[in-house]
């Protein structure tokens, strides 16, 4: 792909011009080769065409429900390959760092803290009652 630098304003202007049918500042074939334009277009497409998103999701759901596709993903060699790939992916240092930062931020949210506090309080109360009942039975 062509990585010729386009300014953000030009990219956004061309996206709007594509949707409205206006005259582009560069030919569409050149814009389609530009990484920045493609990324911006991929994001903007579903803003302009929200109905296409649901069509795409329906297609994927229908595809993965096909018996031959289900059978393929149930094969032991496919399962092993996907498991190995996932394991290797999550061992990458940048992925580990990103997940660690995300988890740290997530668990600092007040609603998450409150939920965990309530859950563990109920768990320990139940465990305490269970131990008391076991000791009382002996």
SS3 category, 27: coil
Cβ atoms 67, 73 nearer than 8 A: no
pLDDT of residue 138: 58
Q: Cα–Cα–Cα angle for 27, 29, 35, nearest 5°? A: 105
Cβ atoms 23, 16 nearer than 8 A: no
Closest CA to 37 of 11, 7, 1, 66: 11
Tokens 């991929």 belong to 42
SS3 category, 6: coil
DSSP letter for each residue of 56-122: HHHHHHHHHTSHHHHHHHHSHHHHHHHHHHHHHHHTSHHHHHHHHHHHHHHHTSHHHHHHHHHHHHH
pLDDT tens, the chain, 138 aa long:
455 678 888 888 888 888 888 888 888 888 888 888 888 888 888 788 877 777 778 888 899 999 999 999 999 999 999 999 999 999 999 999 999 999 999 999 999 999 999 999 999 988 888 877 777 665
In 10 A of CB 30, how many CB atoms?
Answer: 15
Sign of CA dihedral 82, 88, 93, 94: negative
């Amino acid at each position: 792909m062509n990585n010729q630098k386009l300014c953000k304003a030009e990219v956004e202007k061309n996206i709007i011009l594509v949707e409205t049918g206006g005259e582009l500042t560069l030919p569409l074939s050149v814009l389609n080769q530009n990484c920045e334009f493609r990324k911006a277009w991929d994001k903007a497409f579903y803003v302009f065409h929200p109905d296409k998103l649901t069509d795409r999701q329906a297609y994927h759901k229908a595809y993965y429900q096909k018996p031959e596709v289900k059978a393929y993903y149930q094969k032991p060699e496919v399962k092993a390959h996907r498991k190995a790939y996932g394991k290797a992916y999550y061992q990458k240092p940048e992925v580990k760092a990103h997940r660690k930062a995300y988890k740290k931020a997530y668990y600092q949210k007040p609603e998450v803290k409150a939920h965990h506090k309530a859950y563990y309080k109920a768990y320990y109360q139940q465990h305490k009652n269970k131990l008391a009942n076991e000791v009382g039975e002996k």
